[in-house]
Amino acid sequence: MRTLLIITMLIATCEISFSQFENTEIGARAIGLNGAFTSQSDNSLAIFYNPSGLGQVKYREVSVFYCPSPFGISEISTAALTYAEPLKFGTIGIGVKTYGFELYRETSISLSFGNDFRGKIFYGFNANFYNLKIQNYNSASSFGADVGAMAYITDFLKWGFFAKNFTGTKIGESKEKLAQVYRTGFTAQPRNDLNFVLEVEKDVRYPLSFRGGMEYFINDYVNIRAGVGTEPTSFSGGIAINYNIFQLDYAIYNYRDLGITNQGSITVNFGGNSARKLAREQLKNAFK
């Protein structure tokens, strides 16, 4: 009965809602910061938050994210895989995301590129493929694009901007518009081991929301983070365990109406500790 109710709600959503492919957060590190990752985006997850951030990635990286039962509902499970490969002309990436279960499935594939200009200004874009499949209701596909930018303003302040689906992509015979979201914000780094992040988000359908987060690097092996958001009110926290080329991230997220859920991701960065140290020092290195 519970599954039948969820299926009915999902099908109704596809027929009457304003959009599909909602702007869900991906990756336990970003979730621990309550999604305030637009001006950070210094790993392969930049594909989902700000593709210009790929220009900061100097080592090959793979990240896997899986949330099997958000808020205790297995039918809205989410999984994602990202890959970043630095090249001479910039960094290319691919991100695959899936949401739902066997009767309702949203899948997106993003081909990404990010680069920098003199190490201070970054730019990037995503070319996206979307596929929506509902059992016994056929499937539909569409294409869209995202753009992002980032810049070092001072030796302790970085700005970022991301336009998700700025093309206004639609899907299906009913031409339902996919989620269109704009984000901008700042990262302040008073010390190499401490980041403060603040950003504002505008989904074209909803009120303006604010997100903030803090990340503290205890040592080369452990760092902690916390975040808060509005519209809707939410709180988050997390921890990362780093060892050699591996990083294990865990996040806990408290949503006002649905309660608490847990998230996890695993990242393999072939630069190991050197890559993590570089990511923390880039803000100040840009002005040397």
Q: What are the structural domains of the chain?
A: 2-285 (2.40.160.60)
Question: Which stretch of 71-80, 137-146, 162-171 has the lowest confidence by average pLDDT?
Answer: 71-80
Confidence band of 71 (pLDDT split at 50, 70, 90): confident
Q: List helix spans (H) across 97-202.
A: none
Nearest-angstrom CA–CA distance, 107 and 225: 29
Residue 285, pLDDT score: 67
Burial of 244: CB neighbours in 10 Å, binned 0-12, 13-18, 19+ = exposed
Residue 286, pLDDT score: 67
Could you identify the residue written with the tokens 């990752």? 37
Beta bridge mates, 58: none
Mean per-residue pLDDT, 222-228:
96
Mean per-residue pLDDT, 239-259:
89
Q: For 246-264, b where at least 16 C-beta lie within 10 A, e where not — what string?
A: ebebbbbbebeeeeebbbb
Could you identify the residue written with the tokens 């970043």? 84
Omega of the bond leading into 232 within 30 degrees of 0 (cis)? yes
Question: Which stretch of 2-11, 71-80, 227-236, 243-252 has the lowest confidence by average pLDDT?
Answer: 2-11
Residue 284, pLDDT score: 63
Residue 250, pLDDT score: 95
Q: Where is pLDDT greater, at 103 or 160?
A: 160
Residue 210 identity (one-letter amino acid): F
Question: Two tokens at 258?
Answer: 């649905």
Confidence band of 7 (pLDDT split at 50, 70, 90): very low
Question: Which stretch of 147-161, 227-241, 251-265 has the lowest confidence by average pLDDT?
Answer: 251-265
Instruction: Give me the chain's average pLDDT, please.
Output: 87
Beta bridge mates, 15: none
Question: Two tokens at 69?
Answer: 């039962």
Q: What is the pTM of this model?
A: 0.87
pLDDT at 72 over 80: no
pLDDT at 117 over 80: yes
Question: Two tokens at 141?
Answer: 């596909």
Mean per-residue pLDDT, 233-240:
94
Q: Where is pLDDT greater, at 85 or 69?
A: 85
pLDDT at 183 over 80: yes
Residue 236, pLDDT score: 95
Nearest-angstrom CA–CA distance, 67 and 79: 6
Nearest-angstrom CA–CA distance, 229 and 252: 14
CA dist 63 → 90, 97, 213, 268 (Å): 19, 12, 21, 6
Nearest-angstrom CA–CA distance, 236 and 31: 7
Mean per-residue pLDDT, 104-126:
94
Q: Are 74 and 284 in contact (CB under 8 A)?
A: no
Question: Which stretch of 19-33, 40-54, 59-73, 110-124 has the lowest confidence by average pLDDT?
Answer: 19-33
